[in-house]
């Protein structure tokens, strides 16, 4: 069984542990997840199963959506409720202050990855250095905030919703917004509601998946790889061209009856379904990146 499980990751486990649950449920050793969620976070976690794991390196850059709760006046070393308190007693901003701070952050901005993150420094994940009490310089990275709005505000807490580019740390976004208000905060809840083009309404819980696995119907929750790349242009191959593609031979994309500029990524399909991914090279050749089945 190859494909994608859109998992609603529960709180309290790592993304790796969640992927292992999918592996057991599907009876497949090979799984890989897209877009790590912290143990505290819940929500959409696409898990690739079987041959689909090789698609991780080719995932399209789609925006992600989150809903988070921030507690003002307290800063932790992880920027969430799982960390140790570093500072307390900070002022509580008004709803209007926080709303304005979030609004000002829309668009591109340079974000410094938190120490408790999987970003590597000298080949070592930052979270490993952080656990040893080390703090190192980190290179700010450009992220894009497409939208940010306050959902509710009561006392010292605010619930807010964000749509952003891949690689954005919502913990850091909250801290940066709080800093604009002259205070500190940390996240007490974080839920990813959309990733890779799939919303929370498409997700299956661990309980649902394991129950289905026990009844021998876990494959019902498998999503076709084609769904990940539904927005890409498609070329159709059959006969000799399909054999050339599956055997890894480049050939002119014009032979499919299509013309695309160099650098275009396309879905490759036989008359019935998607069978792979390819790029159009500088000299107009179709170059295979991934195929759905073995020859």
Q: What is the CATH number of the domain that holds 9?
A: 3.30.2350.10
What's the pLDDT at 255?
94
Mark whether 38 is an active-site residue. yes
Q: What is the pLDDT of residue 294?
A: 57
User: Coil, strand, or helix at residue 286?
Assistant: strand
Residues 155 and 218 in one domain: no
pLDDT value, residue 1: 66
- Residue ranges of alpha helices (H) inside 117-166 are 126-131
Same domain, 173 and 109: yes
For residues 68 and 172, membership in a common domain is answered with yes
Residues 134 and 157 reside in one and the same domain: yes
On whether both 128 and 167 belong to a single domain, the answer is: yes
Identify the CA nearest to 149 among candidates 68, 92, 74, 80: 68
Q: What does DSSP say about strands 141-154 and 31-33: parallel, antiparallel, or unpaired? A: unpaired
Which of 38, 77, 80, 176 does the annotation list as catalytic? 38
**266 is in which domain, residue-wise?**
232-291
- The three-state secondary structure class of 245 is helix
Distance from C-alpha of 76 to C-alpha of 96, rounded to nearest angstrom:
24
Together in a domain, 143 and 38: no
Domain check: are 110 and 133 in the same one?
yes
Claim to verify: residue 95 and residue 182 sit in the same structural domain = yes
Q: How far is CA 46 from CA 19, 61, 132, 152, 215, in A?
A: 9, 14, 31, 28, 22
| Per-residue pLDDT of the chain in tens (295 residues, 90 and over written 9) | 678 999 999 999 999 999 999 999 998 778 999 888 999 999 999 999 988 898 888 888 789 999 999 999 999 999 999 999 999 999 999 999 999 999 999 999 999 988 887 788 888 887 888 888 888 888 899 999 999 999 999 999 999 999 999 999 999 999 999 999 999 999 999 999 999 989 999 999 999 999 999 999 999 999 988 888 988 999 999 999 999 999 999 999 999 999 999 999 999 998 888 999 999 999 999 999 998 875 4
Q: Are residues 168 and 72 in the same domain?
A: yes
Max Cα separation, the chain?
A: 71
pLDDT of residue 295: 47
* Number of domains present in the structure of the chain: 3
The pLDDT assigned to 18 comes to 96
Instruction: Check whether residue 52 and residue 147 sit in a common domain.
Output: no
Same domain, 160 and 255: no
pLDDT at residue 81, as a whole number: 93
Q: 137 and 53: one domain?
A: no
Residue 88 is encoded by which pair of tokens? 């307390």
Compute the distance between CA of residue 153 and CA of residue 181 in angstroms, rounded to an integer.
15
E strands in 169-248: 185-195, 198-199, 204-205, 234-236
């Amino acid at each position: 069984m190859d494909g994608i499980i859109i998992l609603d990751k529960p709180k309290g486990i790592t993304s790796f542990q969640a992927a292992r649950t999918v592996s057991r449920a599907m009876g497949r050793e090979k799984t890989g997840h897209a877009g790590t969620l912290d143990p505290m976070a819940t929500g959409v976690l696409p898990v690739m199963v079987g041959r689909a794991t090789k698609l991780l390196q080719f995932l399209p850059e789609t925006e992600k959506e989150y809903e988070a709760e921030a507690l003002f006046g307290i800063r932790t070393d992880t920027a969430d409720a799982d960390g140790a308190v570093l500072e307390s007693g900070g002022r509580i901003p008004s709803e209007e202050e926080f709303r304005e701070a979030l609004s000002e952050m829309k668009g591109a901005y340079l974000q410094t990855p938190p120490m408790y993150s999987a970003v590597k420094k000298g080949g070592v994940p930052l979270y490993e250095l952080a656990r040893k009490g080390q703090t190192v310089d980190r290179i700010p990275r450009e992220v894009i905030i497409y939208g940010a709005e306050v959902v509710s505000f009561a006392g010292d807490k605010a619930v807010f919703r964000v749509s952003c580019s891949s690689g954005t740390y919502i913990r850091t976004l909250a801290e940066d917004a709080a800093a604009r208000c002259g205070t500190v905060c940390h996240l007490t809840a974080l839920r990813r509601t959309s990733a890779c083009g799939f919303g929370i309404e498409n997700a299956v819980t661990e309980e649902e998946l394991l129950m289905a696995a026990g009844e021998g119907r876990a494959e019902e929750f498998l999503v076709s790889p084609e769904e990940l790349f539904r927005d890409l242009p498609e070329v159709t191959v059959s006969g000799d061209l399909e054999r050339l593609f599956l055997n890894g031979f480049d050939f002119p994309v014009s032979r499919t009856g299509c013309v695309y500029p160099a650098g275009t990524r396309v879905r490759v399909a036989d008359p019935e379904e998607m069978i792979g991914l390819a790029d159009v090279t500088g000299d107009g050749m179709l170059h295979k990146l991934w195929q759905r089945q073995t020859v």
